[in-house]
A = this chain, B = another copy of it.
Amino acid sequence: MTDRDETNIVKNPARRKLLSSGLIAGGAAALGGVFSKSAIAAAPDPLITEIQDWNRYLGDGVDAAPYGVPSEHENDTIRRNVAWLTADEKASINFTPLHRLDGIITPNGVCFERHHGGKAVINPADHRLMINGLVDTPLVFTMEDLKRFPRTNRAYFLECAANGGMEWKGSQLNGCQFTHGMIHNVMYTGVLLKDILAEAGVKSSAKWILPEGADASHMSRSIPLEKAMDDCMIAFAMNGEALREEQGYPLRIVVPGWEGNMWIKWLRRIEVGDKPWHHREETSKYTDLLKSGKSRRFTWEMDVKSIITNPSPQAPITHGKGQTVLTGLAWSGFGKIKRVDISLDGGRNWQPARIDGPSWDKSLHRFYFDFDWDGSELFLQSRAIDEDGNVQPTKNELRAARGGNSIYHNNGIQTWHLRPDGSAENVEIS
């Protein structure tokens, strides 16, 4: 398309400044007014008569797709996995295609998955949730029982503690889908966990809960009662419809701002106890080995973080220099995002991005940075700051603090090297 840069029918310099490459005006000139009646009458454009033929045929009617799917032209908007990452795809991860999305809602069809024994397939009519342990009355709920409690709707991000884990030892994966795609952001409908626990009656000696999944791995994690009684939900719907099977259908626990691994899917039981259980997924896994050789016992909150989704290695700039939209996502397990800064030169200079769309507690924030790219190489970085004042660190600051053994909780600043041809690569700035 660069040959169009030479044309110029935009007459207003103020407008030309916005689109300094002249591409839009170029488009108009090159195509000769494709849809203008006079142009078509004078010389039919092959684009409209041969290629753009979709207005010449009746399309499918309304009974074609009772449950619709995306256009085949969007077939790169899919979850992808990395074969070498795990021994078996039944206990593995696939990644949200962040570079193909916009706004803050992650569509249900591409929410990243992490299974430990494959995806359980449950008939909701036969599913039960049990509350037992340090309660006045152990209870078993059907799905219908749970839907009789007062409902609420809240959007939260879910991030795997290992998101970005491969980047601790240097840039390894070339695309934000793989470096940062273990995250999704969903509007949940459900009931507050505290209402369900109150129904059973929590004993005064209780201090912890253990949610447990009905899948083959019967996943479980210890959660302090204080968090359970604060903002945890028992969710049965996501983004308006029933949970997807990959996300725990028919029931999951929502643990806002905390490690995704704690958001037990296919939830079948919540035990109430007076101490943590120290199950597998909070001892041999999901702990942080420090350089001292000691491990953090628990690291629940997901730290303040951000990523530029476009441009990025999977989403190069293809329009050449000039007016460019840089966009990305920011989030914090401690609350709302207050500010996102952008650097084009690898962290030497910073300018504020524009946050657009809802700004909610522990939910993804969408940011944009509209700039005039001169076609030179750039080192793109984003840095998020949350309402508690937490600032996203550099990777080297993290390494200095945590040593060389880390897997989880990498919230370091990511760098994309943007080349003059518009392609981008995952690099590190020392």
Contact = CB atoms under 8 A, between A and B. Distances in A.
A93 B62 CA distance: 6
A19 B118 contact: no
A260 to B, nearest CB: 14
B80 A152 contact: no
A64 B110 CA distance: 12
B80 A66 contact: yes
Given A70-B244, A319-B148, A31 B199 contact: no
A376 to B, nearest CB: 18
Interface string A222-244: 00000000000000010111101
A109 interface: yes
Contacts of A266: 54
Interface residues of A, number: 135
Interface stretch (A212-220, A280-288, A299-307, A404-412): A212-220
A34 B130 contact: yes
Contacts of A152: 356-357
A314 to B, nearest CB: 15
Given A65-B246, A79-B67, A142-B27, A118 B58 contact: yes
A315 B74 CA distance: 35
A325 interface: yes
A172 interface: no
Nearest to A190: B102
A130 B145 CA distance: 55
Interface stretch (A132-140, A332-340, A384-392): A132-140
A348 interface: no
Interface centre among A73, A104, A117, A118 (most CB of B within 10 A): A73
Interface stretch (A7-15, A163-171, A394-402): A7-15
A310 to B, nearest CB: 9
Interface stretch (A121-129, A251-259, A290-298): A121-129
B324 A148 contact: yes
Contacts of A103: 153, 187-189, 237, 239-240
A144 B422 CA distance: 14
A318 B124 CA distance: 15
A357 B153 contact: yes
A34 B128 contact: yes
A266 B106 CA distance: 23
11 contacts: A9-B137, A19-B145, A27-B140, A28-B138, A54-B216, A61-B90, A62-B113, A66-B79, A71-B245, A101-B240, A150-B325
Given A57-B118, A103-B187, 13 more contacts: A15-B199, A28-B138, A35-B268, A56-B216, A65-B79, A73-B250, A105-B240, A107-B239, A109-B241, A144-B318, A148-B323, A148-B324, A239-B239
Question: Ordered nearest first, which 4 A-B pairs have the shortest CB separation?
Answer: A59-B118, A61-B89, A153-B357, A66-B78
